Chain A
Amino acid sequence: MMTISARSASLYLAASLGLAIVPAASTASGGGGGESMPSAPSQSAPTYDAAAEYKAGVAALGAGHFEDAKRNFDHVLAVAPRTAAANYLAGVTREALKDVKGALRYFEKAVKYDDTMIMAHKEYALGLVAVGKPDKAQAELQLLRDRSAKCADTCPEAGDLREAITAISAQLGTAPQSRIDTMPDLLFGSGRAGDENYLKAVALINEHRYEDALRSLEQAERILGPHPDVLTYIGFANRKLKRYDIAERYYREALRIAPHHRGATEYYGELMVERGDLAGARQKLAALDRTCAFGCFEAEELRRWIETGHGSSS
């Protein structure tokens, strides 16, 4: 069972300051630097705080206020529809409201957007059994078994895989509509808390270990929801891995949630430089100059990219 120490909470705050360490805190902002009222984690005020709504949804779900939770997650998904964790929790909420088919739709989306989310695979398969689709559930089970065999009990998600395989196997041995486990787990993987994962990702990015950083960021996103700082760094790590289309998608998603997010604006502009779109990069720089009252590092760094084709530490 995960425990949260004071240090973990502190680490989370550190992440807030930067994420820039930047990326992470509950108010969507961005990548460090302030607009007019600097505060954690970054300072540009979002038009809609999806991370706060996600937080409210988790609280409502925990308190058994399922209608409220449903509303919260629906709002989150309206602005961040590809967030696997929010889809998963929307599914959990539907399940609590006895909307099995509705839950199934969200679990399906959760695994579509994050194929590594073992809990979502498990709930999806259990839901398929419940609605009388054992063949599809069997396919999910086989997928998890294959993954478990490949992992050979050495990967971080080995425990989750074992638990999921056991639960699905048991469910397939019972009649439809009789769920063995009626309360899906809210623990996303057996990993660490969002704060630790976030901060770990920042350090890994600084060490140029981008694949490892992505794994930590995915864990962070599952706990923190669609926080623009986390999305920005997922985009950043993908960009460093030359997956420009994926990077762009995450930058755009961060900016949809927080249109003045400094980190996302800067990094998106840098991506444009890398793609040779200097006009687009200059537009991003102009946006930063407009929103960065009293100056900010993000604008200076993008300016450097436009002038030299690389950043200050490249």
Chain B
Amino acid sequence: MDRNRARLLLLGSILLLLGAGQAGFPIRAAQWLAPEHRLQALSTRPNECAPIPSQPADRDAFEVGRAAFRSPLLLGGQAARAGLSCESCHSNGRRNEHFKFPGLSGSPGTADVTSSIMSSHRGNDIFDPRTIPDLAIPAKVSRDPSGFALEHFIRGLIVEEFDGAEPPPLVLDGLARYVRSIGPSCENAKEPIRLSAMLDDSRRATMAAEYAWRQKDPAAARLLVSGARSALGRINERYSAEGLAGDRKRLRAADLGLLAIEQAIDRRDGDIPQRLAGWRAGMASWDAALLRDERRSLFDKGLLARALDK
């Protein structure tokens, strides 16, 4: 190969690389979905299949785990910076068969959990992606609550696999309870991804935060409020159209309300439960507009398909 040709090929390579990272699509999760799966993965998901416990104490712990499961800030390091949560791989607590994180996945639905990219503890220098498990199907880790094997396993995932901070005890307990509740008698049905469910995620996360605060665990409360904020962010991504600026303003105002509560938690203000309840009461002042505009947002499958085609 002559030198000039080599230079041109090199230039082409550089341009390919420089172009590879461009992404104008507003939904962040698309970045870790196989391109040909994006429409399906962003419009439907497996049924949650995690019955809410009937006993109030169990229910509260379950809700803590459910909200933490969906919060990117539970994990640390590169995962948290990329916006990944447990739910990114385990869609609605099940399996995200469309997950394809560049550099970490082989075929869709796989991930290399021993990569130094994500972990300063578990890197093994081998690209060995494995199938992401469906949490509705019990695997080798015992779910027997008396042995705490599941708690130990989850802690290892957070702290070692993803370089996260030590989870507050309430959160670790909640995550284990949530995971134990998933399956086993699940149907393999799918549900559409709707605004109402995401609004509910945000609302439920604030209720879990209130419980955590009452349990005198401000770290857990803060994490859960951040989970509520992340849920609003996921909604906001879908209201990116030019004519939906008003909805984005409403969401940002709601987000700032939660930021103020986070700061109040940091100060250990005494009125956190009242603030959280007030925030939830205030949802009525803005969620109706969003629900009205849902058909103009990327919750609409047709608009989503067109946006993905651009």
Q: Contact: A312 with B82, CB < 8 Å?
A: no
Residues of B contacting A34 with CB < 8 Å? 28, 83, 233
A51-B18, A58-B18, A193-B13 given; A33·B83 CB < 8 A: yes
Q: Contact: A300 with B226, CB < 8 Å?
A: yes
Shortest distance between the CB of A262 and any CB in chain B (Å): 8
Residues of B contacting A37 with CB < 8 Å? 26, 237, 240
Q: Contact: A21 with B233, CB < 8 Å?
A: no
* Closest Cβ neighbor of A20 among chain B residues: B81
Residues of A contacting B92 with CB < 8 Å? none
Q: Contact: B21 with A16, CB < 8 Å?
A: yes
Residues of A contacting B83 with CB < 8 Å? 32-34, 38
Q: Contact: B11 with A58, CB < 8 Å?
A: yes
Determine if B31 is an interface residue (Cβ-Cβ < 8 Å).
yes
CA distance A207 to B165 in the complex (A): 17
* Closest Cβ neighbor of B8 among chain A residues: A62
Shortest distance between the CB of A228 and any CB in chain B (Å): 13
CA distance A2 to B101 in the complex (A): 24
* Closest Cβ neighbor of B105 among chain A residues: A10
Shortest distance between the CB of B276 and any CB in chain A (Å): 16
Which of B37-45, B69-77, B190-198, B283-291 touches A?
A: B69-77
Determine if B96 is an interface residue (Cβ-Cβ < 8 Å).
no
Query: Knowing that A22-B81, A33-B83, A203-B117 are A-B contacts, what are 19 other residue pairs whose CB atoms are under 8 Å apart, sorted by A's residue number?
Result: A12-B17, A14-B101, A14-B103, A18-B78, A32-B83, A38-B83, A39-B28, A42-B81, A59-B11, A183-B3, A186-B7, A193-B17, A202-B117, A206-B117, A295-B230, A312-B76, A312-B165, A313-B77, A313-B120
A27-B22, A39-B28, A223-B14 given; A208·B120 CB < 8 A: yes
Determine if B102 is an interface residue (Cβ-Cβ < 8 Å).
yes
Determine if B24 is an interface residue (Cβ-Cβ < 8 Å).
yes
CA distance A300 to B74 in the complex (A): 11
A202-B117, A294-B236 given; A39·B18 CB < 8 A: no
Shortest distance between the CB of B219 and any CB in chain A (Å): 10
Residues of A contacting B230 with CB < 8 Å? 294-295
Q: Find residues 95-152 in chain B having any chain A CB closer than 8 Å to their own CB.
A: 101-104, 115-120, 123
A31-B81, A39-B26, A293-B233 given; A17·B32 CB < 8 A: yes
Residues of B contacting A36 with CB < 8 Å? 236, 248
Q: Find residues 189-221 in chain A having any chain B CB closer than 8 Å to their own CB.
A: 193-195, 199, 202-204, 206-208
Residues of B contacting A43 with CB < 8 Å? 28
Q: Find residues 258-310 in chain A having any chain B CB closer than 8 Å to their own CB.
A: 263, 289, 293-295, 297-298, 300-301, 303-304
Determine if A149 is an interface residue (Cβ-Cβ < 8 Å).
no
Residues of A contacting B31 with CB < 8 Å? 13, 16-17, 39-40
Q: Is the interface of B mostly helix, strand, loop or mixed?
A: helix
Among A185, A206, A224, A294, the most chain B Cβ lie within 10 Å of the Cβ of A294
A1-B1, A195-B20 given; A186·B81 CB < 8 A: no
A32-B80, A206-B77, A294-B232 given; A3·B13 CB < 8 A: yes
Q: Which residues of A line the B interface, CB within 8 A?
A: 1-4, 7-22, 24-27, 31-34, 36-43, 51, 55, 58-59, 61-62, 183, 185-187, 193-195, 199, 202-204, 206-208, 223-224, 263, 289, 293-295, 297-298, 300-301, 303-304, 312-313
A294-B236, A295-B233 given; A207·B120 CB < 8 A: yes
Shortest distance between the CB of A21 and any CB in chain B (Å): 5
Determine if B279 is an interface residue (Cβ-Cβ < 8 Å).
no
Residues of B contacting A2 with CB < 8 Å? 10, 13
CA distance A42 to B80 in the complex (A): 12
